[in-house]
Amino acid sequence: MKAFLIDRYAKGGALRLAEVPEPELRDNDVMVEIHAASVNVLDAKIRDGEFKLILPYRLPLILGNDVAGTVVRVGRNVRRFKAGDAVYARPEQDRIGTFAQYIAIDAADVAPKPANLTMEEAASIPLVALTAWQVLVERARLEKGQKILIHAGSGGVGTIAIQLARHLGAHVATTTSTGNIELVRSLGADVVIDYRNEKFEEVIEGYDVVLNSLGKDTLEKSLEVLKPGGKLISISGPPDPDFARQNGSGWPLRQIMRLMSFGIRSKARRRGIDYSFLFMTANGDQLARIGALIEAGAIRPVIDRVFPFAQTNEALAHVETGRAKGKVVIAMK
């Protein structure tokens, strides 16, 4: 099969199109013929080697963290799916590889494709929607009437998180650029802060939750808008000791993560705020619940652009500009 892969970590390096063997089908797996995959900032960070300490991949590595496609075979223990089923998924972090024609995925990480979405639309959903779900529902336990600030509202995670937070009954503020104000309003944002012309920490206060996907300055300023007892949840780092333990990291790496997050954890503690880092995990049951919300009209995909498979490198470069509205998708056919 054809696949785009990396032979070594290299910042800004091009992916190589190669002919590789089809993946092995394990007893609990489904083999999926890939119709579409989406591109995430995570793909660029993995290529650049930013996660090589916590995600020790064996090279060469096929990139890609989102998939929509059709089941072609199932492992001997699989009962939930059969050949011909339309599915979507975020493979577990140690089994990524959706920039390819086929992928084998643990059936527990797979869900039926929402009936009202195309393959391209479905492929845009898994990683960002699972991230939003695990932040808002699992970690923040966001409740009706609470106030949440979602940074980068026009990005992949932001466009889904705004809709999910609104569905949960929260009051939603978001940051975005001038050209994306109407988009985030249409998704349900109550307060829109144009970061080019306003400082979010001077506009809002007394919030319950902040979802951060940006850098250190934004992370620290986010403390100023939270009330005591609030939660600052970051998906862009720095990793904290709890994540290190959950990830099964050894003692040296746990100490590195402790030091990396010491500053923000200390500042948060002084304000009575809980800081945590979240690296989303694959979960087919959660993805099925998200699919039900999509079919009910509570969440809709936002796609910036669809590239053909041959232009996977161009798609990744487009994501790296940081200007995409919603998701960038690769179509196999």
pLDDT of residue 242: 84
| Nearest-angstrom CA–CA distance, 68 and 89 | 7
Are residues 157 and 58 both part of a single domain?
Answer: no
Confidence class for position 212, pLDDT limits 50, 70, 90:
very high
Q: Which residues contact 83 (CB under 8 A, 6 or more apart)?
A: 71, 72, 73, 74
Are residues 151 and 245 both part of a single domain?
Answer: yes
Residue 292 covered by a domain:
no
Contact (Cβ atoms closer than 8 angstroms) between residue 128 and residue 327:
yes
Residue 285 covered by a domain:
no
pLDDT digits (tens, 9 = 90+) for 98-156: 999 999 999 999 999 999 999 999 999 999 999 999 999 999 999 999 999 999 999 99
**232 DSSP β-pair partners:** 210, 275
| Burial category of 58 from C-beta neighbours within 10 Å (exposed 0-12, middle 13-18, buried 19 and up) | exposed
Are residues 162 and 273 both part of a single domain?
Answer: yes
Are residues 237 and 147 both part of a single domain?
Answer: yes
- Inform me whether the pLDDT recorded for 41 exceeds 90: yes
Domain count across the chain: 2
Residue 294 covered by a domain:
no
- Inform me whether the pLDDT recorded for 244 exceeds 90: no
- Smallest Cα–Cα separation from 151: which of 220, 93, 238? 220
Mean pLDDT over the full length of the chain: 96
Are residues 273 and 323 both part of a single domain?
Answer: no
Range of the domain at 236: 127-277
pLDDT of residue 54: 78
Contact (Cβ atoms closer than 8 angstroms) between residue 185 and residue 158:
no
Alpha helices by DSSP H, 205-261: 216-222, 241-246, 251-260
Q: What's the average model confidence in pLDDT over 162-178?
A: 98
pLDDT of residue 253: 79
Confidence class for position 239, pLDDT limits 50, 70, 90:
confident
CA-to-CA separations, 294 to 88, 115, 117, 121, 141, in angstroms, rounded: 13, 9, 8, 11, 20
Q: Could you tell me what percentage of the chain is helix, strand and coil, using 3-state DSSP and rounding each to the nearest 5?
A: 35, 25, 40
Are residues 51 and 9 both part of a single domain?
Answer: yes
pLDDT of residue 51: 85
Contact (Cβ atoms closer than 8 angstroms) between residue 167 and residue 108:
no
**By three-state DSSP, how is residue 283 classified?**
coil
CA-to-CA separations, 129 to 47, 141, 254, 260, 293, in angstroms, rounded: 22, 16, 28, 27, 11
Residue 73 covered by a domain:
yes
Q: State pTM to two decimals.
A: 0.96
CATH of the domain at 229: 3.40.50.720
